[in-house]
Amino acid sequence: MANSQVPFVLRAVILVGLLHPGMSQTCGGRLCSPTQYCNEEGTLCLSKKDLGDPCTGAGQCLPSYSDCLDQTCQCQTDWTEGPGNQCVLDCSDSTCSRGTFCSTDWSHGCIPQINLGQTCSDTEESPLQCRPDNAVCENSLCKCGSDFLEKNGACIPKCTSSSACRPEIEFCDINSGECLLKKPLGAGCTAAQEECATPNATCTGDVCSCLDGFSNYFNTACVPKCPATECRVDEYCDTGNEYCVRKANLHGPCNNAGGLVGQCADENALCHAVESTCECSPGFIDNNNQCVPTCTDNNGCSETNHFCNAEDPEEGFCEMKRPLGGTCTKEGESHECMEASGELNVICKNGRCSCNSEHYQSGGNCILKCSANSNCDPTQEFCNVEQGRCTPKIDLNGICNPTHPSSCRTENAICSEVTNRCSCVDSHVEGSGICILKCSASNPRCESDQFCTTGGACQTKPSLNQPCESGETAQQCQDPNASCTEVSEKLSCLCKDSHAENNAVCVARCENSLPCGDMYCDSNGAPNICKPKVTLGQACQYADQCGTEHATCDLEGSKTCQCSSQYYNYNNGLCLPKCTRDQGCLSSDYCTEEGRCEKKKPLGAGCTDSIQCKTPSAICDATCTCPNTHWEESSVCIQKCTQSTVCDPESQYCALNAKCYLKVGFNQSCTPGDDVKEQCVGKLVFCSTIPDSIRRKCICAENAEKEAAALDCSCTTEYVESQNALRCLRKATELDQPCEESAQCKDFGSGDSGAICSTGLCSCPARFIPDGTKRRCLLVAENLDESCEIDEQCAELGGTGSAASKCVANKCSCQTRFVPDGSKQRCLSVAENLQDGCEVDGQCAGLGGTGPATSKCVQNKCSCPNGFLDGSDRVTCRKAAEKLEDPCVENLQCEVLGEQTECKEAKCQCKAGFMAGEDAKQCVVDNRSGDGTRQGYHYRIFFGVLRGWEVKGLRFSDSDECHPQTNRFARNHVWCVRSDSTTLSCRYASHLNLYLSLPDHFLPWFFLLLRFPRARGIGIELECESGYLHPHPTQHINSVTSEEFFDEVTRDAVDVDECITRESISYQGVTQETTRNAITKGRS
Spatial distance between the Cα atoms of 268 and 290, rounded to a whole number of angstroms? 9
pLDDT tens for 385-441 read: 777 888 888 999 999 988 887 889 888 898 988 889 999 888 888 878 888 888 877
In this predicted structure, what is the pLDDT of residue 341? 65
Lowest average pLDDT, out of 190-199, 276-285, 925-934, goes to: 925-934
Alpha-helical segments (H) within 902-1034 = 1003-1009
In this predicted structure, what is the pLDDT of residue 343? 63
> Region 910-933: what's the mean pLDDT?
76
Lowest average pLDDT, out of 350-359, 764-773, 1060-1069, goes to: 1060-1069
In this predicted structure, what is the pLDDT of residue 943? 35
- pLDDT at residue 15 greater than cutoff 80: no
Spatial distance between the Cα atoms of 242 and 249, rounded to a whole number of angstroms? 21
Residue ranges of E strands in 539-585: 551-553, 561-563, 567-570, 574-577
High-pLDDT (> 70) share of the chain, %: 79
In this predicted structure, what is the pLDDT of residue 259? 62
In this predicted structure, what is the pLDDT of residue 602? 94
- pLDDT at residue 938 greater than cutoff 80: no
pLDDT tens for 985-1018 read: 332 222 222 333 344 444 444 444 343 333 333 3
Cα distances (angstroms) measured from residue 415 to each of 397, 427, 428, 940: 9, 15, 14, 119
Q: Let me know: does 767 contact 755? Beta carbons within 8 Å.
A: no
In this predicted structure, what is the pLDDT of residue 471? 61
- pLDDT at residue 112 greater than cutoff 80: yes
Q: Let me know: does 440 contact 429? Beta carbons within 8 Å.
A: no
> Region 485-494: what's the mean pLDDT?
87
Q: pLDDT grade, residue 4 (50/70/90)?
A: very low
Estimate to the nearest angstrom the gap between the alpha carbon of 585 and the chain centroid: 55
In this predicted structure, what is the pLDDT of residue 939? 38
Nearest CA to 439 out of 476, 399, 492 is that of 476
> Region 638-655: what's the mean pLDDT?
81
> Quick one: DSSP state of residue 1045?
H
In this predicted structure, what is the pLDDT of residue 982? 32
Q: What is the DSSP string of 574-626?
A: EEEEPP-SSSSS-TTEEE-TTS-EEEPB-TTSB-SSGGGB-STT-EEESEEE-
pLDDT tens for 511-546 read: 766 667 778 887 776 678 888 888 898 998 887 788
pLDDT tens for 300-331 read: 777 778 888 877 666 788 888 888 888 888 88
For all residues of the chain together, what is the average pLDDT?
77
> Region 201-221: what's the mean pLDDT?
88
- pLDDT at residue 958 greater than cutoff 70: no
Q: pLDDT grade, residue 835 (50/70/90)?
A: very high
- pLDDT at residue 955 greater than cutoff 50: no
Q: pLDDT grade, residue 800 (50/70/90)?
A: low
Cα distances (angstroms) measured from residue 574 to each of 540, 555, 577, 592: 17, 20, 10, 18
The amino acid occupying position 47 is: S
pLDDT tens for 146-167 read: 899 988 888 999 998 888 888 8
- pLDDT at residue 505 greater than cutoff 90: no
Spatial distance between the Cα atoms of 219 and 15, rounded to a whole number of angstroms? 60
**CB-based burial label for 133 (10 Å; 0-12, 13-18, 19+):** middle
Spatial distance between the Cα atoms of 118 and 262, rounded to a whole number of angstroms? 69
Q: Let me know: does 556 contact 562? Beta carbons within 8 Å.
A: no
Lowest average pLDDT, out of 85-89, 590-594, 865-869, goes to: 85-89
Q: Which helix (H) or strand (E) holds 286?
A: strand 284-286
In this predicted structure, what is the pLDDT of residue 951? 32
pLDDT tens for 24-42 read: 677 877 888 888 888 888 8
- pLDDT at residue 281 greater than cutoff 50: yes
Half-sphere exposure of 861 (CA within 13 A, CB side): 9
In this predicted structure, what is the pLDDT of residue 760? 93
User: pLDDT: is 1024 or 370 the higher one?
Assistant: 370
Nearest CA to 674 out of 662, 684, 690, 683 is that of 662
Partners of 69 in the beta sheet?
72
> Quick one: DSSP state of residue 546?
B
Lowest average pLDDT, out of 557-566, 631-640, 1019-1028, goes to: 1019-1028
Strands 923-925 and 66-69: unpaired
> Region 665-670: what's the mean pLDDT?
86
